[in-house]
Structure 1
Amino acid sequence: MANQTGSDKLVSENIAIPNPAGLHARPAAVLATKAKSFQSDIKILFGDLSANAKSVVGIMGLSTRKGDIVRIEASGEDAAEALNELTQLIKDACGEDEHEAPPATTAPAQPVQQQPIIVDANLLTGVGASPGIAIGRIYHHRIQEFDIPEHGLAYTDEQARFLKALADASSQIEDIKVRLKEPAKQAIMSMHQELLQDPDLMAHTYTNLGEGKSAAWSWRDAFTAYSARLEAQGNAFLGERANDIRDIGRRVLALLAGVEHVEIDVPEGSILIAEDLTPSDTAALDPVKVKGFCTRTGGATSHVAILARSFGIPAVCGIDQQALLIPEGGQAIIDGSLGTLRLAPTKEQLEAAEAEIKKIEARRAEESALSQNEAKTSDGTRIEVVANIRNATDAREAIVKGAEGVGLLRSEFLFDNRDTAPSEEEQAQEYCAVAKALGSERTLVVRTLDVGGDKPLSYMPLPKEDNPFLGLRGIRVGLERPDILRTQLRAILQAAPYAKLHIMFPMIASIDELREAKAILAEEQASMGVKDVKVGIMVEVPSTAVMAERFAKEVDFFSIGTNDLTQYVLAMDRGHPQLAKQADALHPGVLAMIAMTCEGAKKHGKWVGVCGGLASDERAAPLLVGMGVTELSASIPSIPSVKATLSRWRLDECNQLAKDILEKATTAEVREHLAKTAR
Structure 2
Amino acid sequence: MVTSQQLQLLAPLSGVLMALDNVPDPVFASRLIGDGLCIDPTSQVLCAPLAGVISNLQHTGHAISITGENGVQVLLHIGLDTVNLGGKGFTPLVMEGQQVAAGQALIEFDADYIALHARSLLTLMLVVSGEPLVPLEPGSGLVECGQPLLRLQLAATEAVAEDQTGAAQFSEPQILPNANGLHARPAAVFAQAAKGFAATIRLHKQQGSANAKSLVAIMALQTVHGDSVHLSAAGVDAEQALTVLSELLASGCGETVTAVAVEPQAIAAPEQAATDVLRGVCASPGSAFGHVVQLSESALQLAEFAADSHSECERLNQGLAEATGALQVLCDNAPGKAQAEIFKAHQELLQDPDLLEHAFALIEQGKSAAFAWQSATQATSALFKSLGNRLLAERALDLEDVGQRVLKLMLGVQDSALALPDQAILIAEQLTPSQTAGLDTRKVAGFATVGGGATSHVAILARALGLPAICGISAQVLALANGTPVVLDADLGTLHLQPAPERIKQLDNLRERQHQRKQQDLQQAALAACTRDGQRIEVSANIASLAEAEQAVTLGAEGVGLLRSEFLYLDRSSAPSHDEQVATYSAIARAVGTEHNLVVRTLDVGGDKPLAYVPMDHEANPFLGMRGIRLCLERPQLLREQFSAILASADLTRLHIMLPMVTQLSELRMARQLLEEQALALGIKALPKLGIMIEVPAAALMADLFAPEVDFFSIGTNDLTQYTLAMDRDHPRLASQADSFHPAVLRLIATTVKAAHAHGKWVGVCGALASETLAVPLLLGLGVDELSVSVPLIPAIKARVRELDFAACQTLAQQVLGLESAEQVRAALLPLQQPMTVLEY
TM-score interval w.r.t. the shorter chain? Answer: 0.5 to 0.7
Is 2:679–2:685's contact at 8 Å kept on the other side of the alignment? Answer: yes
Structure 2: gaps (5+ residues)? 1-50, 58-62, 74-85, 105-265, 835-841
Cα distance in 1 for residues equivalent to 2:337 and 2:349: 19
**How many pairs does the alignment contain?**
582
1:120-147 deviation digits (Å, cap 9, x = unpaired): xxxx989797664446799998979999
User: Per-residue deviation at 1:313?
Assistant: 2.2
Structure 1's 480 and 342: CA in aligned 2 closer, same or farther, altered over 3 A?
closer
Say yes or no: does 1:311 pair with 2:465: yes
Say yes or no: does 1:357 pair with 2:524: no
> What's the counterpart of residue 285 of structure 1?
439
Is 2:327–2:343's contact at 8 Å kept on the other side of the alignment? Answer: no
2:529 to 368, 375, 386: 375
Say yes or no: does 1:489 pair with 2:646: no
Cα distance in 2 for residues equivalent to 1:411 and 1:289: 37
> What's the counterpart of residue 774 of structure 2?
619
Cα distance in 2 for residues equivalent to 1:502 and 1:341: 48
1:641-669 deviation digits (Å, cap 9, x = unpaired): 43333233121222122122223344443
Say yes or no: does 1:652 pair with 2:675: no
2:585 to 431, 442, 453: 431
Say yes or no: does 1:339 pair with 2:492: no
Cα distance in 2 for residues equivalent to 1:416 and 1:656: 44
> What's the counterpart of residue 440 of structure 1?
594
Cα distance in 1 for residues equivalent to 2:568 and 2:395: 27
Structure 1's 192 and 136: CA in aligned 2 closer, same or farther, altered over 3 A?
farther
What is the DSSP-based 3-state SS (H/G/I as helix, E as strand, rest coil) of the residue aligned with 1:291?
strand
Structure 1's 454 and 143: CA in aligned 2 closer, same or farther, altered over 3 A?
closer
Q: With structure 1 as the length reference, what TM-score do the two structures score?
A: 0.66
Structure 1's 372 and 251: CA in aligned 2 closer, same or farther, altered over 3 A?
farther
What is the DSSP-based 3-state SS (H/G/I as helix, E as strand, rest coil) of the residue aligned with 2:713?
strand
User: Per-residue deviation at 1:493?
Assistant: 0.8
What is the DSSP-based 3-state SS (H/G/I as helix, E as strand, rest coil) of the residue aligned with 1:496?
coil
Q: For residues 104-115 of structure 1, what are the structure 2 equivalents within 5 Å?
A: none
Larger CA deviation: 199-208 vs 547-556: 199-208
1:338-377 deviation digits (Å, cap 9, x = unpaired): 425669x97x676444323324434444444444543333
Cα distance in 1 for residues equivalent to 2:774 and 2:527: 20
Cα distance in 2 for residues equivalent to 1:579 and 1:342: 25
User: Per-residue deviation at 1:674?
Assistant: 2.6
User: Per-residue deviation at 1:166?
Assistant: 1.7
Cα distance in 1 for residues equivalent to 2:677 and 2:306: 69
1:535 to 640, 665, 689: 689
Query: Relative contact order: is structure 1 or structure 2 higher (C-alpha 8 Å, sep ≥ 6)?
Result: 1
1:394-452 deviation digits (Å, cap 9, x = unpaired): 43344455433221223334445667655533432332232234333332111233456
User: Per-residue deviation at 1:167?
Assistant: 1.8
Say yes or no: does 1:387 pair with 2:541: yes
User: Per-residue deviation at 1:492?
Assistant: 0.9
Say yes or no: does 1:595 pair with 2:755: no
Structure 1's 194 and 224: CA in aligned 2 closer, same or farther, altered over 3 A?
closer
Say yes or no: does 1:605 pair with 2:628: no
User: Per-residue deviation at 1:615?
Assistant: 2.2
Cα distance in 1 for residues equivalent to 2:802 and 2:708: 32
User: Per-residue deviation at 1:334?
Assistant: 4.7
Say yes or no: does 1:172 pair with 2:326: yes
Is 1:251–1:261's contact at 8 Å kept on the other side of the alignment? Answer: no
Is 1:240–1:298's contact at 8 Å kept on the other side of the alignment? Answer: no
Cα distance in 2 for residues equivalent to 1:625 and 1:385: 12
1:497-540 deviation digits (Å, cap 9, x = unpaired): 33221122344556665455434433433443435554232253
Structure 1's 473 and 156: CA in aligned 2 closer, same or farther, altered over 3 A?
closer
Structure 1: gaps (5+ residues)? 1-40, 59-64, 80-108
> What's the counterpart of residue 586 of structure 1?
741
User: Per-residue deviation at 1:631?
Assistant: 0.8
Q: CA RMSD in A?
A: 5.6
User: Per-residue deviation at 1:494?
Assistant: 0.3
Is 1:549–1:601's contact at 8 Å kept on the other side of the alignment? Answer: yes
Is 2:359–2:373's contact at 8 Å kept on the other side of the alignment? Answer: no
Say yes or no: does 1:162 pair with 2:185: no
Answer 1 or 2: which has greater strand percent.
2
Q: For residues 568-579 of structure 1, what are the structure 2 equivalents within 5 Å?
A: 570=724, 572=726, 574=728
Larger radius of gyration: 2
Cα distance in 2 for residues equivalent to 1:464 and 1:298: 23
Q: For residues 189-588 of structure 1, what are the structure 2 equivalents within 5 Å?
A: 190=345, 194=349, 218=371, 247-248=401-402, 251-256=405-410, 278-292=432-446, 304=458, 307-308=461-462, 310-314=464-468, 319=477, 323-324=481-482, 334-337=487-490, 338-340=494-496, 351-399=505-553, 402-416=556-570, 422-450=576-604, 474-475=628-629, 478=632, 481-508=635-662, 514-530=668-684, 533-540=687-694, 544-545=699-700, 548=703, 551-566=706-721, 570=724, 572=726, 574=728, 584-588=739-743
Say yes or no: does 1:71 pair with 2:71: no
Structure 1's 516 and 169: CA in aligned 2 closer, same or farther, altered over 3 A?
closer
User: Per-residue deviation at 1:491?
Assistant: 1.3
What is the DSSP-based 3-state SS (H/G/I as helix, E as strand, rest coil) of the residue aligned with 1:335?
strand
Letter in 2 for 1:116: A
Structure 1's 163 and 560: CA in aligned 2 closer, same or farther, altered over 3 A?
same
Is 1:567–1:574's contact at 8 Å kept on the other side of the alignment? Answer: yes
> What's the counterpart of residue 116 of structure 1?
273
Letter in 2 for 1:410: R
Is 1:501–1:533's contact at 8 Å kept on the other side of the alignment? Answer: no
Cα distance in 2 for residues equivalent to 1:460 and 1:243: 23
1:282-303 deviation digits (Å, cap 9, x = unpaired): 21224345334578x7677786
What is the DSSP-based 3-state SS (H/G/I as helix, E as strand, rest coil) of the residue aligned with 2:651?
helix
Structure 1's 662 and 162: CA in aligned 2 closer, same or farther, altered over 3 A?
same
Letter in 2 for 1:524: Q
Is 1:44–1:50's contact at 8 Å kept on the other side of the alignment? Answer: yes
